Amino acid sequence: MIWLASFPRSGNTFVRNILKENYLLESSSYHLDDYELRADFADFPFVKTHLLPHQLPNKYAQNKSIYILRDGRDCIVSLAHYRRDLIDSSTDLHQNMVEAIQALQGSFLGGWHNHTIAWIRKADVIIRYEDLLQDPLGQIEKIGAVFNLPPRAKAEVSGIEKYRVDQQLYGSHYNRYDSYKPVDDFGKKFFRKGIAGSWREEMPQRIQDFFWARCGESMEMLGYERAGSHIAVSDFDDRIRQIRTQPKKRARILVDISKMADEKYDGVKRYVYNLVTQYQYLQWQDRLPFEIDLFLHKKIMPLDETVTLNNLHLEYENKLLDTKEKIKNILPKAVYRSLRFIYLKMQVRRALARFRELTLEKRWSFTKIGRSQSLKELLNSYALVHITLPQHMIFFKNILTTQLVTVHDLTHRIFPDYHTEDNRQRSQTGFEIMQKLKTNVLAVSHRTNQDMELYYPWERSSRVIYEGVDFEKFGPQYDRKRAAELRLKYGIGEEDYFFTLFTLEPRKNLRTVMEAFLVYKEKSPTSKTKLVVGGRKGWKADEMFKDHPDICYTGYIEDVDLAVLYSEAVVFCYLSIYEGFGLPPLESMACHTPVIYAANSSLQEILKDYAYGVAAKDVAAVAEAMERFASDQDYRTNMARRAYQHALGFTWLQCAHETLLYYRDLINIHEKQ
């Protein structure tokens, strides 16, 4: 018995039909699905399977094998159609593509990349689908290397058109996933077009980019080009031999995670945490193309320690906030203000930060830098250093290796009044070092990239890579008991509410949200809807607050609670004056909650018409939007549905893959210089 393996929708059934019709060779299949498996499957000369090599039964795991390879983009498009046309007609075609590319938690047989690489290393014969279409019998003859093919019983191959209508050939004419229910035109839906390159017309550009970010390296390795062409059949076998014999060499990357030591759990810290968490996930899957270490305040640590480190910082941060709140509640206001002034103006925060670093050094075993190797020498040993915040350039200003800096926004230049003098100076210093060293740039939005070109022009490589939504944390929540608990915990009550969330500081424009809410309440005096303001106090926060019985200030909201509070809201309001990206609106949309946003900066670029855009300071327009979402349930439901579908296109896994691809491109450029 010989395994006939392929990733789903790669032409396996086409090969089985040729073997049956032209060589009179029957075949069976082996699977782990719910429908019945033939007890005598191994008695056939060929056994079709889509499983990974390690999933095969031990008794037959070492049998000879044939692998059918197809352009992964065509596989993904065909899989998406198969799911919608033959399994669940309610699914969205493009979302089916995204899910098949993501292959989360081992779904879709680990994804096209994992499946293909695993079988390329194992298979004795590899047949490329594109070559099979051009010369079907010539490609089938390659099987002669592992099986003594009989003389042909038929000289010509019937082709896909016959397979679409002939019920005697392989390609079942019923839906196994729905109690073997017959499906009209099953053959036509199962075999579809039977051509190569249909992805060009059917896969949107954003999904093409997502696929290439995840699978581009293996596609190129196997001879598939991004534009759609592929290496000649005469060169393909040589390419496979090179892949199997070439030793695997991985470049070393250092990622700066110094932001994790910051007490603020803001958007930049989310970026660092989620990016590195995805690197850990890829490492666990053995799909990380580099050796990655992490840099934290002049110390280097292995990639797999980050999650615990993040939890440690959150624990410290929450305890500090609780202590501050308790002191505030105990002391008279005048005394508290005096102490607060001392805390802000003197070196207390710096001392606390240093205490935290010392605590970490005791609890974690960092890489030691001995006398024989300076920090500079160690940093220069990496192929690339990724600095995740320009302010951290101070740590890397003297190194010579390739540097990449993530730029989140340029508010220190565009809106300097929204920053403290200390923050402005640290930001400016970081960008000046970047300009001096001509570092490469990763911008989180096109708007941020444009601002970089305007304020800091220098010759460099730059790329826009969007941030994502953590779908393990954010999604629609329907647990009424949990919702009631959180409403009680944060003092919200049982009423409907508008929700806004950010670090409370002038740039976030809380004043407009509250003024619009008061206008809404005046025009709708019978409405019991509240305004819930979430987030810790930031710079000049006290100047923004308004006393009103229907405005609820929750303070800091724990991440584990956010999805429920997003889901419970009538609408999420985000009227920031400027954002480099803007994560909270997308997180709300992922929870099936519509958004009112300030149509400026990157927000308009990211959210588009999937949310309700208004001018940031237009109180009347915001109040009108609030009234519409509160009173028009059909409109709210439709906007929530569109918002959710849009949010699904932003994932941290995609961000990680695109960032890794950028690493590779920068390293290749450096090696050619």
pLDDT tens per residue across span 578-589: 999 989 999 999
- Identify which of 398, 510, 467 has the alpha carbon closest to the alpha carbon of residue 654: 467
Task: Tell me, rounded to whole angstroms, the distance of Cα 612 from its chain centroid.
Answer: 24
- Identify which of 515, 519, 584 has the alpha carbon closest to the alpha carbon of residue 545: 515
Two structure tokens written together for 308: 């615990």
Interval 305-354: pLDDT, tens: 654 444 444 444 445 555 666 676 677 767 766 776 666 555 555 565 55
Q: Longest Cα pair distance anywhere in the chain, in angstroms?
A: 99
SS (H, E, C) 402-452: EEEEEECCCHHHHCHHHCCHHHHHHHHHHHHHHHHHCCEEEECCHHHHHHH
User: What distance in Å separates the CA atoms of residue 334 and residue 539, rounded to the nearest whole number?
Assistant: 19
- Identify which of 337, 486, 405, 401 has the alpha carbon closest to the alpha carbon of residue 670: 401
Distances (CA, A) of 323 to 319, 328, 330, 536, 538: 6, 9, 11, 14, 17
The DSSP bridge partners found for residue 28 are 47
Does 623 score more than 50 pLDDT?
yes
Burial class (CB in 10 A: 0-12, 13-18, 19+), 133: middle
Rounded to the nearest 10 degrees, how much is the dihedral formed by the CA atoms of 37, 38, 39, 40?
A: -140
User: Which of 106-120, 301-315, 607-621 has the largest mean confidence?
Assistant: 607-621
User: What distance in Å separates the CA atoms of residue 440 and residue 427, rounded to the nearest whole number?
Assistant: 17
Question: For 148-157, 359-368, 425-434, 561-570, which range has the lowest pLDDT when averaged over its residues?
Answer: 359-368
- Identify which of 475, 546, 533, 521 has the alpha carbon closest to the alpha carbon of residue 630: 521
Interval 638-661: pLDDT, tens: 999 999 999 988 999 889 999 999
User: What distance in Å separates the CA atoms of residue 244 and residue 135, rounded to the nearest whole number?
Assistant: 25
Contacts of 574 (CB under 8 A, 6+ apart): 500, 501, 502, 582, 584, 585, 588, 595, 596, 597, 598, 603
Residue 340 pLDDT = 64
Q: From its phi and psi, is residue 152 left (phi > 0), alpha (psi between -120 and 50) or beta?
A: beta
* For the chain, percent of residues with pLDDT exceeding 90: 50
Output Rg (C-alpha) for the chain, integer angstroms. 29
Residue 313 pLDDT = 44
Does 199 score more than 50 pLDDT?
yes
Residue 163 pLDDT = 58
Contact at 8 Å (CB) between 56 and 50?
A: no
Q: Give the up-direction half-sphere exposure of residue 364: CA atoms within 13 A in the CB hemisphere.
A: 24
Does 361 score more than 50 pLDDT?
no
Interval 71-89: pLDDT, tens: 999 999 999 998 888 888 8
* CA quadruple 140, 143, 145, 149: dihedral sign: negative
User: What distance in Å separates the CA atoms of residue 295 and residue 403, rounded to the nearest whole number?
Assistant: 13
- Identify which of 581, 587, 608 has the alpha carbon closest to the alpha carbon of residue 534: 587
- Identify which of 389, 327, 324, 339 has the alpha carbon closest to the alpha carbon of residue 536: 324
The DSSP bridge partners found for residue 573 are 596
User: What distance in Å separates the CA atoms of residue 152 and residue 141, rounded to the nearest whole number?
Assistant: 10
The DSSP bridge partners found for residue 66 are 4, 125
Does 168 score more than 60 pLDDT?
no
User: What distance in Å separates the CA atoms of residue 356 and residue 127, rounded to the nearest whole number?
Assistant: 58
User: What distance in Å separates the CA atoms of residue 220 and residue 242, rounded to the nearest whole number?
Assistant: 13
User: What distance in Å separates the CA atoms of residue 643 and residue 636, rounded to the nearest whole number?
Assistant: 10
Distances (CA, A) of 502 to 122, 275, 532, 625: 51, 21, 12, 20
Contacts of 105 (CB under 8 A, 6+ apart): none
Contact at 8 Å (CB) between 96 and 37?
A: no
Does 368 score more than 60 pLDDT?
no
Interval 401-451: pLDDT, tens: 999 999 999 989 988 877 778 888 989 999 999 999 999 999 999 999 999
- Identify which of 211, 215, 275 has the alpha carbon closest to the alpha carbon of residue 581: 275
Residue 250 pLDDT = 84
Contacts of 414 (CB under 8 A, 6+ apart): 451, 455, 578
State the chain's mean pLDDT as an integer.
84
Residue 339 pLDDT = 72
Distances (CA, A) of 205 to 54, 75, 292, 487, 591: 34, 16, 30, 42, 25
Contact at 8 Å (CB) between 450 and 410?
A: no
